[in-house]
Structure formats: structure tokens, C-alpha cells
Amino acid sequence: MRLSLVSSLSVVVISLAVFLPFHHVEACSRIFWNSNGQAMLVARNMDVADWPFIYVMPAGKSKTGGNIDNPAKWTSKYGSVVMAYFGQVDYMCDEGINTQGLAFHYLVLEGSEYETRDSRPGVDGGRYGQYLLDNAANVTEALKLMSQTQLVIKPLDPRLLLRCHVALEDAAGDSAVVEFIGGRMVVYHGSNYTVLTNAPPFNEQLDNLTRYRKFGGDLPWPGDVESKDRFVRASAFLSTLNSQPFPPLHANLISRLFSAIRAVAPPFGSRASDGESWPTIWTSLFDLTHKTIYFTDTVAKNNFWIDMKKLKLAPGAPVLYLEAYWPDLFGEVSGLFSPVK
């Protein structure tokens, strides 16, 4: 299927999405394993029911913050690989990793309230991940950029609002969670901030965690698909990953982290307390140390990886894409990307 056809179909998907309860998309989870002593690995589950696309974005591209007042303008310093839905990379860059080993992820946070627009250069929410990956080599640099610019939310429709918090990680093991609460940006910066799900805000998730076994409390780990429950389970499973399994198994680090992130993936048919059902559609895992991306689509039943060292990410290279929902994608697929037309 060519991108032109997919783009046409994506217009239909976007039109339909306007009428869906997008603000209830709350089954995403992120785990950053930065304590194994060998590689910095981050995995996330995504629950958006759409065709995932993966884009190769070379360095040296001139970009803007979008169709907004006083948009930021830049030329990408670093190449990156990003995930997008609807086949529209500028509409929603959901997560990605750049050549320096910095990674970015959006996860829905119901109730987010963004800053009042001021005089700083702005970047539309759908392009913000690209902006950070294009210009920052690590978490500290990304946070500085976030203070110097403004994330601008410009909904396609009054019923379709992007309400998200941001997770950042880098190849040195640093991490940050950024939320927009009450009209201001709230930053949690430190290598100990390794788990993120959805609502409530991050400080409430951390407080709730202390009620459970291994984290200061005596409650058993919960088993529901609610965001709070997934936060506790993800934190618990992350805390066990460095333990030697018994009987001894020779599972590598990638397999170990996949086992943890899949254990917090809502299955098809599961429902939260509000009655909504958002099963995990795809799972991604980034090796920030070795610049490798692992990806599996639940519906397509594929399982593949991308060695970024085999991609052309230097200035002058073309933008490429891969339709990540095809069922015949297995093994290393860097040679299967096509030019965007």
C-alpha cells in the first residue's frame, strides 16, 4: 500500500477520531530500566486504535512550530526515528529516539491545563516531540528547551483535545516527567523517575505507591487495568528485573523488559471503572545505549526491530517511513523503509 492511499484513508480515520472520546484514552504505560548496568532501555504500551507509522527523520531539515502565532523555527541538529498515528507525522509525533540516545514519549493525562500563551516561540503539540529530539542531546538540554519555548495545543476540533504529560530519558540514565497542571509546567527531573502511566498527576501516583508492598506499605500489588494500578505494578515489576530468576534463565535484557511492560498491558475486553476499554495496540522498546528500536503490533502480530546505525540520518538524506502495522514485518527491517512522497 502506498503512502498516498494510506494518507487518504488517514483523513477518514482523523475525521472519525474527532467523534471518538479521545480524552478517555488512558491505558498507556512507560518503564525506564536504567539500573541493569549494561544498557539504558525504555518500553511503552500504546492504546490508540490506529495504524502506527514509523518515520526516519534525518538531521539538517528546516522546520517550524506549525501554523500558530510566533512559531519556533529550527534546523534539526540530530537525526531521529519517531512513531506517529494516522500516517501524519506532524499531526501527532507520539514518541521517538534520536541519534544521541534521547527519547521522548507522550502519555495522556486527563485534566492537563497548559500555560497561557506568552511571547516565547511556540511549537504545536503534534510537533513538540520532533522539536526536542531535533535539538537536544539529553534530558537536561530538552528541559532547557521546554522552558525557552511553549508547547501550544491547537485542537483540530473542540471535542478533540491533546491532554498529555511528557516522559524523557537519555543514554546516560537521566529521566524526567513533565506535566502541565493549573496552567504551569511542573517538572520531575531525576534518574529515579522511571515509571509513568496516566491520571492522576505524577505526585499523586508517587504518594499512592507508598501504600503498597515493597514501597513502604503493606497492600498487595493491585491487578486492575486502572492507571493507578498499572503504575504500582509497573514499579513493582521494574524493581524485580535485576533479580536472578529461578530456575536460572538466559533471557537477555530486551526479553526481561518486554516481560515487564507486557504484564501491565490491558487485554482486549478489559474495562476501566468508567466502562472504557482501551487495550494495548502496540508496544515499543528503545535501547538508548545501542540505538536500537524494538516494536510489536498486537493486531498485526508482528515482531521486528530497527538498527538505527543502518539508517541514513545525516543531513541530505530523505525522510522515510514504514507502515508498522503490516503482519509480515519480522527481524531487522531498516532496509524496508520507503521515501515519503
pLDDT digits (tens, 9 = 90+) for 122-168: 999 999 999 999 999 999 999 999 999 999 987 654 444 568 999 99
pLDDT tens for 184-215 read: 999 999 999 999 999 999 999 999 999 999 99
- pLDDT higher than 60, residue 88: yes
**How much is the average pLDDT of 169-195?**
98
User: Among 18-22, 156-160, 324-328, whose mean pLDDT is lowest?
Assistant: 18-22
Q: Which pLDDT score is estimated for 202? A: 98
Query: What's the pLDDT score for residue 13?
Result: 34
Mean pLDDT, range 86-93, rounded to an integer: 77
Q: What is the pLDDT of residue 317?
A: 98
Give the per-residue pLDDT at 282: 92
- Residue 289 CB neighbour total at 10 angstroms: 16
CATH of domain 3-195+279-339: 3.60.60.10
Residue 187 corresponds to which cell in the numbers above? 517538572
Over the chain, what is the mean pLDDT?
89
Query: For the whole prediction, is pTM greater than 0.85?
Result: yes
Per-residue CA distances from 165 to 67, 116, 230, 277 (Å): 22, 17, 16, 21
Q: Which pLDDT value is given to residue 244?
A: 77
Q: What is the pLDDT of residue 274?
A: 74
pLDDT at position 153 is 87
More confident residue, 251 or 294: 294
Residue with the bigger pLDDT between 44 and 49: it is: 44
* Pair 152, 90: CB distance under 8 Å: no
| pLDDT for res 307 | 98
- Mean pLDDT confidence for 257-261: 97
Residues 6 or more apart whose Cβ sits within 8 Å of residue 250: none
- Residue 71 pairs with which residues in a beta bridge? 122
**Where exactly are the structural domains of the chain?**
3-195+279-339
pLDDT in tens, 272-299: 777 777 889 999 999 999 999 999 999 9
Residue 5: per-residue pLDDT: 31
Alpha-carbon distances, residue 243 vs 237, 249, 256 (angstroms): 10, 11, 11
Q: The cell 501504600 sits on which residue? A: 211
Residue with more model confidence, 2 or 286: 286
Per-residue pLDDT band for 22 (boundaries 50, 70, 90) equals very low
Q: What is the CA radius of gyration of the chain?
A: 19
Predicted confidence (pLDDT) at residue 15 exceeds the cutoff of 60: no
pLDDT reported for residue 14 = 33
- pLDDT, residue 85, reads 76
The pLDDT score that the predictor gives to residue 156 is 57
